[in-house]
Amino acid sequence: MPVAKPYTRIPIRECGEPLATIPRDVFALTEPHPYATLGAPYGDASPWMLRLSVIEALKAAQNALQSRKPGWKILLFDAYRPNAVQAFMVEHEMASLARAEGLDPAKLSEAEREKFLAMALRIFAVPSDDPATPPPHSTGAVVDCTLIDEAGHEVDMGSPIDENSGRSLPDHFAAAIDEAGRRAHANRSLLNEIMESAGFRRNPSEWWHFSQGDQLATWIDRERNPNGVARFGRACK
């Protein structure tokens, strides 16, 4: 059994705010959606949904970005993720890791499954149907994102979203002395600054993952608000 992540101890007091569709005329979206393309089971749900106030906060972040970098936009990679999709992506990541080591994912021993599960959980949360421990993306309060410049080109962040390596850590390039590394760190810092200005908090393990009002964001804010309670639990379409 995977070890529960510490933020799952944060209590939830669901506010009941509905999911809404992310406006395509405001934000750039990664299309086709990367997980849907893999066959992730969204059913009649859409990955391009967030809680209403989170969409408004995302608009504020984009305004902050454009005040510093005119013409730049936030590029959304993923947003709402039902638990069935979370489980699918964990299995997909485990299979990819196994194949990378020359193993057949269908023939893994229990020890090998545990090994690859632990590796997959470095970038994916534990799937859970328990209302007290929803995967962050299942709350509708989380977005995975990067930036595009005025020409519509993705800004160099030093590693792609969902890369399962140490390069995903937000400060991986903080001490870089080469130009590419310094540029990647500056771009990651810019993304974090404009998202934080709108009330988002960055996942300590992933440069691209931002949330507000869920267990993870509340846990990150525990020093400022030690008795904080998450306002977003598992979202219902």
What angle separates helix 52-68 from helix 179-197, to the nearest 10 degrees? 130
Find the catalytic residue in 179, 196, 206, 223.
206
Active site (annotated) includes residue 223: no
Query: SS3 of 201, please?
Result: strand
How far, CA to CA in Å, does 215 sit from each of 39, 129, 196, 210? 28, 15, 16, 12
- 157 in Cβ contact with 188 (< 8 Å): yes
Helices of type H across 31-137: 34-38, 52-68, 83-100, 110-120
Q: From CA 81, how far away is CA 12, in angstroms rounded?
A: 18
- Maximal C-alpha separation, the chain: 53
Type and span of the H or E element at 199: none
Q: Please give the positions annotated as active site.
A: 206
